[in-house]
Structure 1
């Protein structure tokens, strides 16, 4: 029997469900300054929006089914929602504006109120347009009954029809409330609320006909009346005139602030003095959903201009009267003789010294982090938790956000993030709340969850100083002080306005980032304002070091190193080592030993890797390249994901080890880890230097084998250079065949000209060793000037002195500077060698030419004397006997002079 009603209900609903299956539903809603139409798509659709005359047309994908049943009662500023084929037409009220956007898969169309004209308040509709009429007298006032709305000022006389139209300022409107009615005015939830503590019937049509009051809404409360208007930059002025209240849409005026003090010095109630307090009317706050206790005033302009925050209640600013936002069920507001009394139970101490004016809520702040003592913050948190438990789930979002802000203000970021995450899972509106997302990311940052804190970089976050501050904190946590310092420097006042527990977490991060980035002026400001906090000892020491106070900085570093703050202790130890090294109190080896002792002072991955890299550098500089290499190998094993970062340091340590180790040990090291050799000229130079060291020990074969293995692994010009050196070593060992094989094995296309010439010369020398003189001569002649010296040597060994002299002359023309520049000793030796070849060739004419061109370029000495003897003319008669005697004397002393020159000893004339 119990199933029968359910079955009947299912039969009744079956057609409707079948008809709506697969269709996209529509929801509508009214808001303070706009109406909203929502298309509930299950997945994000593609759509086109077109602005038509007095309407907006949406075109969805072909075949889309839209169920228009939800739009039978159009929302504010919407005249109707109809289907035009496959398009949806939304007719708008004249002058309404549209805002179209997408939230997840849903498409939202907002119909905004018309833009205000001159003399209107933002959010109001323009007055209805009247047809043009000729000059017409005003209607006589009614005498049978008093009108519900009476003009407080005489109506302006209409100008003649022929005159130009003039803008008429909206006149004040008298409200028909009985004498003694109290009133209050405040801004809440995007609305202007005007509360009157007596109930009176209002002619809304007559009120809305007045300029500036077209969107006025009224709500009847028990014994009170609430008027609602959209929020405007210049709200209407509510003032007392005679026995009633007058609403002037032209703008607001100044009033008398209510002083706040403790009642009789007590700490359980607050007293706000007012000249004529009225009644207390309870409302539901349109902004947070919490109880709002409003105290009216019967005359005057007493108000609360500044927002104030207490643990269990807030005092929002008002334009008239007093308002108390209750976060606890213990909060009371009572009107007395010339005062209002605010209580919160005997258990709560309301210290008026702590109830100062709230910080100015500039547009650059998006969080509400109450700067209250911890005890009051805990009371506030308990009140919020009680309100959350009593509130329906879909009204808890503002309460959970306030609780998350309170937890963050208490320095409890993990708990704050959990509270804010609950808001996101409970209320779908949280997904589109950018400030809530920023607050969640800030809590994740302080909780050490950097991946979740990355949401602070989202461009959707509202631009504000508060977001700049937290983005700087994120950059500091990621180890980028240069990026964090500008943000911290620009937001220091905001940082010091934070609650103590939160400020204590952020100040060391900000100071350390400023110190590491070298931003000394903002760092001084921060340290001066923060005072002698122990957590700022390290930034103070870094500032002293930056200012050149080395001894003071070292003393501070040593003090921090003896403390219990492990991260600060590790940094202080390392900075003290670097400072002592820079001042000459430690050498590289001592600094390496001191830094080695700090490696495990604090296990932070980024800092430990940086310390290990620095230690490897110090070991390498102190001659312990093998120790540096071992340390880097250990680091690579501990942090495999940092291999790419460590690779350059490993290569540099490997090169240093090849240069510092004994030759055979260096060869063994290369054989064990050939992949560590850096590519490019640095690696090639290290291997060539190692080969030279082996050759100096008469280990040419070992050097050649080393270069051969390196050449096989290399490529390009480097391989050809290594093969050339290997071939040279093999040729020096007398193995010309192996030298040619090495050259062939290391051949690489597109080599530099200098490398090609050197390889051809060596190949020609190997051909000569193998008895292939003709091939060698042809190869050298093909080289031209580059092979001239080697060709001259080859021809001289054959006894072809004329050919050798001719080839060597080509080499001299390319080598010697232009005349008449003097010649160096090496160039003089070349010139002497050419003269000897010409003498052996018997070329008197060439000798005379050489003597005439080059004798004056020689410096006095044995080489010049030898050149003169070789190029002197032949003896032709007895007249040349004195010259012969001088030459014989010169020849007798020549061997001793030449020997002294070869040995480097002094030469006497």
Structure 2
């Protein structure tokens, strides 16, 4: 019963109330020339009224519409207050700001235009007090308004007033006319008369002074080595100088009307532009990095000189405390907030009144970034709570969450040129900073998001989120054409791709579009080291080591081992030792320390460190440690090649699937070849080629070397089988031809001349033209040994002869002619070859039983080379042939000519017996007995000749 009563009461209350109000979301933004308020209405015909009075502007909406202000908001620069009113919104604008309102579909847009610049003359000032005609209003182009508001081009409203009858009754006449006029043609409100006291209390910021002239003219004066810009400002005016992109910002903490017209045409300061704010003056100078400005006092004025970099006599150091950062400076000026030309976010600038004070390095916090300056201090605010104020002799940045800004590693790193801004934060503040950046991206127009996306991608890369950083910067490429040519964005994209392991996308580091600074050098070295080119990577790492040591922790964890191992492998041990000492005792650097100990021949220390890595949890480092341990033990002699190959096989399965495994496989194959296991190496390489089909160019040389070794070391029949199983692996050059020819000769020695001749023919087809005569001679010899005399002659006739091949080809041709039954042609060929062919000529004549001719040929050979150790044997053979022919006169002449020259010994004794007089009686029987004994020993001596002949084949 009690529940039913409650339901009844609630129902009566709900039924008695009017319909629920429709909420209209309110979005705020800052744009060049105006601030903007956009209300998302439920329908395009909801009426609205704009009432301007001394106490501000009241925006009244139709019944049932309730504006919903964002919880965390930063007001546009021309808006002092914005609050909900009972019927809509109440806002207070800065003095001189103008309001423009119009519809775009179901959106209501209110633009608070900047105050018009001061009139240059009294006449112009007087004319500005009268309302300008509607046609004279410089309306912004429709396309520009659409790009700024992220809205479609506004359509021209109808000429008739909108249907809001209550506006005609309630609004004053000026407001009614302003609401009824089309936005594109509506005249801006006339400058208001001095507001009453109530309005003055609302407008807390004082109006900018109204100079009577166009401003103080700026000029250059002679400086130290170059023309200097003279800023004629009072002595109490502070100055700050900082760079944003390709523009240098000079911020004066007091409003001054400055005329830059006299600087037109100046080579340095010709592009200077001045903007006077209510509380400050901003000078913008387009000047590309690394050029900078040096400021000093000249009397009460500031003198700004261009130079290669800012003067850093005294650095303003940041002292992080809980919830704030203290920046101590000599003679600090006033804090000035300005809009960042890159991101649109506020920059809190602290000016100084004495020269030589700057922040040379950047620091990062979750809510802001301390920017490097050339004079003064600057902080890019990312949260509404950040504030900069001067307290005595220091600036205080307050409203910050707990977090520590990690400075760069020192003056050496600060002097290096950078392109990216990588925040060095703890994970918690870094995540908070990233969330703030993403909110800024969502609220910005598409063409204003590029700097915001770039900053967010840098934060992601600093956190180790490489894939996310690359995706974020690719969105910038798709949205904004400027990103595709922005060197900072290009470097960020390539670095993120490298850290993500996407080497094709990281090749952008090698392009010439990136500037040649230290940070680009560092990342190019990282790319070379990742690709395995330690020689190219080592100089880059060594020269940018301080910059690397100042990177965020997630990047150092990845890059420090890569740099240390590359430098050790390239022989830069001193630079590697310096890196390891500066990096401290980090577990990921244990492998690099082991490699350094190995390079310094500290074997025991290296093996101990490798064992530590092997027992660790890093699989890749473990695989590399296993491989280096085997190599070190092989070098020390505790393992042979076969043992090292077996040890590396354990590392083969410790890491699979990339170039690390491929390198290990190739090394195992090489060690097996060194150990004499060519077949094992060939089998492993065949499996490797099947596993890595896209690495054939890298595997093929090792396969060719293993097959050549197998053809040389394996038995001929096994070698032939290996070749026939994979003939495409044999090199198509002289190495392959030589291996086939040698294998063919080995087959011929095994009484397989036909198989040998077939392989020799394949060898002949592989060799270049210059080597074909030699291989043709070998092929002809094999064919002749196989009984194919005709094929041997065809081979010899098919290739031209060289001077080196004349004798062997002639001998082969003579043998072939003799085998084909043309002895006369064979003898003619041999006689034409001269002395070197005399042994073959004697053998051919002996075969034809021309004993006298054979004897003469051998005696001529002995006479042609008397100092040759083989000459006595040739004389003995000549004597034997003469004895077989029964030519006593020849024997007698031979005895007379040669017996004395032969001296003593077995050969001389045999020649004497052969050439002695024939047996004529019993007195010659003893001599006959000696001759018989001598000839009985000939068979044993001839066996030795036959064995030598077989071995020489």
TM-score (norm 2): 0.65
Match of 1:806 among 856, 870, 882: 856
Q: Which residue matches 2:632?
A: 579
Whether the 8 Å contact between 1:258 and 1:274 is mirrored in structure 2 is yes
Whether the 8 Å contact between 2:349 and 2:378 is mirrored in structure 1 is yes
Give per-residue Cα distances to partners, 1:509-544, cap 9 Å, x unaligned: 112222333332222222222233222222222222
Whether the 8 Å contact between 1:414 and 1:444 is mirrored in structure 2 is yes
How far the C-alpha of 1:789 sits from its partner, in A, is: 2.0
Q: Which residue matches 1:314?
A: 369
Distance 1:206 1:777 in 2: 110
Whether the 8 Å contact between 1:574 and 1:595 is mirrored in structure 2 is yes
247-256 or 562-571, larger mean C-alpha shift:
247-256
Distance 1:168 1:628 in 2: 71
Distance 2:855 2:642 in 1: 59
Q: Structure 1's 250 and 843: CA in aligned 2 closer, same or farther, altered over 3 A?
A: same
SS of the residue aligned with 2:532? coil
Give per-residue Cα distances to partners, 1:472-522, cap 9 Å, x unaligned: 211111122222222223322222122221111011111222233333222
Whether the 8 Å contact between 1:855 and 1:868 is mirrored in structure 2 is no
- Counterparts of residues 510-525 of structure 1 (less than 5 Å): 510-525=563-578
Q: Alignment length, in residue pairs?
A: 715
Distance 1:209 1:775 in 2: 100
How far the C-alpha of 1:426 sits from its partner, in A, is: 1.8
Q: Which residue matches 2:780?
A: 724
- Counterparts of residues 806-825 of structure 1 (less than 5 Å): 806-812=856-862, 816=865, 821=867, 823-824=868-869
Is the counterpart of residue 761 in structure 1 residue 808 in structure 2?
A: no
Match of 2:692 among 639, 662, 669: 639
Q: Structure 1's 258 and 566: CA in aligned 2 closer, same or farther, altered over 3 A?
A: closer
Match of 2:556 among 492, 495, 503: 503
Distance 1:583 1:204 in 2: 76
Whether the 8 Å contact between 1:485 and 1:517 is mirrored in structure 2 is yes
Whether the 8 Å contact between 1:304 and 1:319 is mirrored in structure 2 is yes
Q: Which residue matches 2:506?
A: 453
Distance 1:902 1:470 in 2: 79
Q: Which residue matches 2:828?
A: 778
Whether the 8 Å contact between 2:361 and 2:408 is mirrored in structure 1 is no
Match of 1:627 among 664, 670, 680: 680
Q: Which residue matches 1:465?
A: 518
- Counterparts of residues 62-141 of structure 1 (less than 5 Å): none
How far the C-alpha of 1:470 sits from its partner, in A, is: 1.4
Distance 1:752 1:634 in 2: 45
Distance 2:648 2:322 in 1: 57
Q: Which residue matches 1:409?
A: 462
Q: Which residue matches 2:543?
A: 490
Q: Which residue matches 2:238?
A: 183
Whether the 8 Å contact between 2:470 and 2:497 is mirrored in structure 1 is yes
- Counterparts of residues 590-605 of structure 1 (less than 5 Å): 590-605=643-658
Is the counterpart of residue 395 in structure 1 residue 439 in structure 2?
A: no
Whether the 8 Å contact between 2:407 and 2:424 is mirrored in structure 1 is no
Q: Which residue matches 1:222?
A: 278
Is the counterpart of residue 708 in structure 1 residue 754 in structure 2?
A: no
Give per-residue Cα distances to partners, 1:97-129, cap 9 Å, x unaligned: xxxxxxxxxxxxxxxxxxxxxxxxxxxxxxxxx
Q: Which residue matches 2:619?
A: 566
Distance 1:413 1:634 in 2: 35
Distance 1:754 1:205 in 2: 90
Distance 2:919 2:340 in 1: 133
Give per-residue Cα distances to partners, 1:331-362, cap 9 Å, x unaligned: 112234554331134xx125478699887554
Distance 2:261 2:763 in 1: 95
Distance 2:690 2:228 in 1: 81
Is the counterpart of residue 833 in structure 1 residue 887 in structure 2?
A: no
SS of the residue aligned with 1:293? strand
- Counterparts of residues 181-260 of structure 1 (less than 5 Å): 182-189=237-244, 190-197=247-254, 199=255, 217-227=273-283, 235=294, 237=296, 246-248=301-303, 260=318
CA RMSD of aligned residues (A): 4.6
- Counterparts of residues 157-176 of structure 1 (less than 5 Å): 175=233
How far the C-alpha of 1:450 sits from its partner, in A, is: 0.7
Is the counterpart of residue 289 in structure 1 residue 369 in structure 2?
A: no
Q: Structure 1's 846 and 553: CA in aligned 2 closer, same or farther, altered over 3 A?
A: farther
Give per-residue Cα distances to partners, 1:174-217, cap 9 Å, x unaligned: 54x7x9x65333234433524243x5666778999999998765
Q: Which residue matches 1:112?
A: none
Distance 2:621 2:928 in 1: 87
Match of 2:381 among 318, 321, 326: 326
Q: Which residue matches 1:99?
A: none
Distance 1:622 1:230 in 2: 68
Gaps of 5+ in 1: 1-144, 156-166, 732-737
How far the C-alpha of 1:445 sits from its partner, in A, is: 1.0
SS of the residue aligned with 1:371? coil
Whether the 8 Å contact between 2:334 and 2:351 is mirrored in structure 1 is yes
TM-score (norm 1): 0.68
Give per-residue Cα distances to partners, 1:549-580, cap 9 Å, x unaligned: 33333333333333332222222222322333
How far the C-alpha of 1:623 sits from its partner, in A, is: 4.4
Q: Structure 1's 901 and 519: CA in aligned 2 closer, same or farther, altered over 3 A?
A: farther
Distance 1:254 1:551 in 2: 49
How far the C-alpha of 1:449 sits from its partner, in A, is: 0.8
Q: Structure 1's 547 and 835: CA in aligned 2 closer, same or farther, altered over 3 A?
A: farther
SS of the residue aligned with 1:598? helix
